[in-house]
Structure 1
């Protein structure tokens, strides 16, 4: 969920660039998963159940929060955020805890620390995450780490927590935050519009973000596919190619661990439109040919080895 869509929008990227503000527009009542919420007196969540093929056509044109449960992909949930600012306010510190380079994996940092980290990688601190992907277990872990650390949540984080509890994706159990299922996965994308740093999210950019994030869902939910990607990384790329690609992704702010690098590589090479591809050829003996790497990865996932 990081690195810039450099050719189209400088800050509307898959790279984390932290956000300090962004008013949350509350959960919009509508038809959806109403049973338990109505019984408890809580307002209903606006959740639409659609097959994956109908998701893009179902995205709202207006800057509004909308939640989707994907009926033919069990465990996949999509949040359409009202704006880049709202999305960033909810997720910036979760991204920092989960995958940001040189950020701790065992504690929640301040928003200022996230901003300083973003600046190190050429990101505008007023910028935002353009899209996100997390297992709900990762999100629950963020809230649990914050609870143990006695960290005060931001308004955006509290609203996210409330939304996911009411969506029945996470819960507080015996004083600890847990995911309802380890198989659940949340994608978030922003509404079309202009961000605080002048980023333009038009329908084509939003579709590219969605495609990239769905690539992460494929890696999470399809063990054979993920195995083929890891096998390609370890057995078909040379050491110098792996080092070059890791360095390029780390330069975008990603944690350089194999856990992150392999997942991001497949999402960029196989699921991100070429117009928005941030990975570039690196010439020389220690370089890499991106088109060649893509062809090799495509062949590997089409013909996986045992």
Structure 2
């Protein structure tokens, strides 16, 4: 549910990542010391939270490698984390992504970092930049920490930083349960979007302000799907009742080829985020020719009409 891997040479691919039209620079891997320095702010005793309306968010994002959390005042439950860099974001979230949405990863256990590396390489991705952006309910993130705790899996430096941050911000907490202490979300309505700071990613991916804006737009599309039940139902209805079986099959195959789990929960959410919330030049979905193919422009128009009708009905 993030924006695809930042691994292709000229444009795309969201939820596994993004690159700019300028292509991929040579880039050098970030050292362990530099990454640790970027994550150090996560362990500060009073991490800053900026409260502002959504319309002011884009203008408030920092240009440098700054770790910051934004609480969106006119969208209750929405939080946006600005990670210092793509590498720092990956260090915090790669195994969360694997548990929640990757097609070849288990849903009931946290895999080793070596398994993450092997999986990323199968898709031609850099494991440090598994996603260019992320979106999770805080309940999903708490699930990750709870599963890891029950498995007695050691957290990485990035995962400990994430756990510390979210606990200090009051988004997750430990509670006593029948089997001992468990990790829980403070609210079932809280939702975290993450975007990377500008700069060069671990594989040389260029994250400039335009790419970051595209990532943010895509991830906020997932917030809309999470927080607006009528909108989400319109997307599901369109998928099941207005697309043909062959169209659903082709679109699922496209998204699966990017590494997404083929479940309806993931596919429908990603489809709407790509078609309705991702700038056209960063859109990875492509037409599939032939009788069993897909006309992406036609699918987008149909989905736009479906969700537009939801808005009209709400105003009646």
Tell me the TM-score normalised to structure 2 length: 0.88
Task: Tell me how far 1:7 sits from its aligned partner.
Answer: 7.0
Partner of 1:32: none
Higher alpha-carbon deviation: 109-118 or 220-229: 109-118
**Are 1:303 and 2:303 matched, yes or no?**
no
State the distance in 1 between where 2:75 and 2:200 align: 31
Question: 1:240 corresponds to which residue?
Answer: 246
* 1:225 aligned onto 2:231: yes
Shift of residue 44 of structure 1? 1.6
Counterpart in the other structure of 1:269: 275
**Would you say the 8 A contact 1:85–1:128 is kept in 2?**
no
Aligned-pair CA distance for 1:124: 2.9
Q: Distance in 2 between matches of 1:220 and 1:126?
A: 27
1:90 CA displacement: 0.1
Cα deviation code 1:125-164 (max 9, x no counterpart): 3534210000000000000000000000000000100000
How has the CA–CA distance of structure 1 residues 7 and 298 changed in structure 2, closer, same or farther, with 3 Å as cutoff?
farther
> Taking structure 1 as reference, are residues 243 and 290 closer, same or farther at Cα in structure 2, changes over 3 Å only?
same
Q: How does 1:179-198 map to 2 (within 5 A)?
A: 179-198=185-204
Which is worse superposed, 147-156 or 42-51?
Answer: 42-51
Q: Counterparts of 1:44-193 in structure 2 under 5 Å?
A: 44-174=46-176, 175-193=181-199
Among 193, 199, 209, the alignment partner of 2:205 is 199
Q: 1:15: which partner in 2?
A: 16
The corresponding residue for 2:264 is 258
SS at match of 1:275: helix
Distance 1:20 1:110, change over 3 A: farther
- Pairwise CA distance, 1:9: 4.9
| 1:54-110 Cα shifts (integer Å, max 9, x gaps) | 000000111110110000000000000000110000000000000001110000001
Structure 1: gaps (5+ residues)? 30-41
SS at match of 1:158: helix
Query: Against the structure 1 CA distance between its residues 20 and 88, is the aligned structure 2 distance closer, same or farther, given a 3 Å change threshold?
Result: farther
User: Are the structure 2 counterparts of residues 20 and 247 from structure 1 closer, same or farther at C-alpha, using a change threshold of 3 Å?
Assistant: farther
1:39 aligned residue: none
Contact 2:137 2:191 in 1 (8 A): yes
Distance 1:245 1:235 in 2: 15
Matched position secondary structure for 1:303: helix
Contact 2:5 2:130 in 1 (8 A): no
CA distance in 1, matches of 2:87, 2:211: 16
Kindly tell me: are residues 223 and 7 of structure 1, through their superposed partners in 2, closer, same or farther at Cα, counting changes over 3 Å?
farther
Give, in whole Å, the separation in 1 of the partners of 2:152 and 2:242.
46
Aligned 8 A contact 1:229 1:297 in 2: yes
Instruction: Look up the SS of the partner of 1:27 in the other structure.
Output: helix
**Retained in 2: the 8 A contact 1:8–1:276?**
no
Which residue of 2 is the match for residue 33 of structure 1? none
Residue pair 1:9, 1:199 contacting (<8 A) in 2 also: no
The alignment of Structure 1 onto Structure 2 pairs a total of residues equal to: 292
